[in-house]
Amino acid sequence: MKMTNYPDSVRIIEMGARDGLQNEANVPTTAKVALINALSQSGLTHIEAGAFVSAKRIPQMADSADVLQQITRSPDICYSALTPNLQGYQAARKANVDQVAVFTSSSEGFCQSNIHCSIAESLARFAPVIEQAKADGVPVRGYLSCVVECPYDGPTAPTQVARVARSLYELGCDEISLGDTIGRGTPASITPMLEAVLNQIPRQKVAVHFHNTWGLALVNVHQALSMGISTIDASVAGLGGCPYAPGASGNVATEDVLYLCEGLGIKTGVDIEAIAKAGWEICRHLNKAPQSNVSLALLGKSN
C-alpha cells in the first residue's frame, strides 16, 4: 500500500542515451539508436537522446543529430537534448528535439572546470537560448550540478543551491534538475538542500538526479520521494558518470528506481522488464560479452 507522504505517480527522465553513453568510448550510432528505440517501447515518456555540445570536448555526443534523425519516434515521448548555447540550440531544433536543456553548477569550481566560466557568466550565456526557446514554444530544462558537494570546492551550502535554482527558474526554465554529481549525498544532506530549494521554486518544477558513487543513490531517491518529489532522473543499467567530476560513478539505475516505486505503490507507467532488456543489450554491446538472462531471472521472468 502506498504511503500518503509519497506522490501518487512519478515521471522517469531516462538519461542513459546521453548522460550514460557520454562516458563510454566508441559507441556507434546504430547502438545508440537501438537503445533509444528499445527504451521507447517501455512506457517512458521522456528520453534524453543526445547533446549538441563541442565535439572536441565530448566526442561521444558528436553524432547526436544522426541519432535523432534515425530513431523511431513515439508521439507520446519527449526526446530532449543538451544545448549549451544558441549554436547548439539551433542544431537541436534542426534535429527536431522536443525539449532542450541548459546546465550550470551550484559551485564556482565545478562551473569553471566544466564550462569554463563563472556561475553568473553561465546564466548570462543561457539567457538567449531560453529566450529563443520560449519564442519557439520549446520547453527548457535546467540542470544544476554539485548540489551536495563539489570535487573542487567541497560541500555546497543549501542556500547556494537554492539561489542558483531560483535564478534558473526566473530565467524561464520549466524544470530544474538537482544533480548530486559526485554521489556524496546522504538523506542528511539531501533533505536540507531540497528544503531550501522548495522554499524558492514550486515542487512540481523540481527533479532529482543522483549518482551512485557511494551506493546511496536509491536511498536518496527514496528521501526525495518522501518529500513529494515526483520527477526522477535515472539511467538504464546505471550507466553514466561525469567526465569533469573525478571519481563520479554512474547514475541511479532506472531498473532500481522502478522496483522501488513499485514496492512503494507509486505508479510509473514503465515496464521494468522492457527496461531490463534494453539495459542488457547496451551492456552486452559495451562489454562485448554474450547476452545474459540474469536480469530477467531476477525479475522472476524469462524470455
Question: What are the residue numbers of the active site?
Answer: 242
**Does position 285 have pLDDT exceeding 90, yes or no?**
no
Q: Determine what percent of the chain is predicted with pLDDT higher than 70.
A: 91
pLDDT at 241: 60
Q: Once rounded to an integer, what is the mean pLDDT over residues 120-132? A: 94
Sign of CA dihedral 100, 106, 108, 114: negative
pLDDT digits (tens, 9 = 90+) for 204-216: 999 999 999 999 9
Q: Once rounded to an integer, what is the mean pLDDT over residues 49-59? A: 91
Q: Once rounded to an integer, what is the mean pLDDT over residues 161-169? A: 97
Residue 30 vs residues 27, 34, 36, 112, 171: alpha-carbon distances, Å: 8, 6, 10, 34, 36
150 neighbors 105 (Cβ within 8 angstroms): yes
Position with higher pLDDT, 26 vs 153: 153
59 Cβ contact list (under 8 Å, min separation 6): none
> Which CATH number is 11-298 given?
3.20.20.70
Nearest by Cα to 27 from 54, 56, 73, 67: 67
Residue 25 vs residues 28, 162, 286: alpha-carbon distances, Å: 9, 35, 9
**Does position 296 have pLDDT exceeding 80, yes or no?**
no
- The CB-side HSE value for 221 (13 A sphere, CA atoms) comes to 28
pLDDT at 246: 52
pLDDT at 24: 80
Q: What is the DSSP string of the chain?
A: ---TTS-SB-EEEE-IIIIIGGGSTT--HHHHHHHHHHHTTTT-SEEEEEE-S-TTT-GGGTTHHHHHHHS---TT-EEEEE--SHHHHHHHHHTT-SEEEEEEESSHHHHHHHHSS-HHHHHHHHHHHHHHHHHHT--EEEEEE-SSEETTTEE--HHHHHHHHHHHHHHT-SEEEEEETTS---HHHHHHHHHHHHTTS-GGGEEEEEB-TTS-HHHHHHHHHHTT--EEEEBGGG----TTSTT--PBPBHHHHHHHHHHHT-B----HHHHHHHHHHHHHHHHT-----HHHHHTT---
Give me the residue spans of the domains in the chain: 11-298
Q: pLDDT confidence of 300, banded at 50, 70, 90?
A: very low
Residue 23 CB-density burial (10 A; 0-12 exposed, 13-18 middle, 19+ buried): middle
Nearest by Cα to 183 from 108, 119, 241: 241
Q: Using CA atoms, how far apart are residues 285 and 172, in angstroms rounded to an integer? A: 39
- pTM (2 d.p.): 0.91
Q: Using CA atoms, how far apart are residues 243 and 190, in angstroms rounded to an integer? A: 23
Q: Using CA atoms, how far apart are residues 122 and 116, in angstroms rounded to an integer? A: 9
Q: Using CA atoms, how far apart are residues 234 and 209, in angstroms rounded to an integer? A: 7
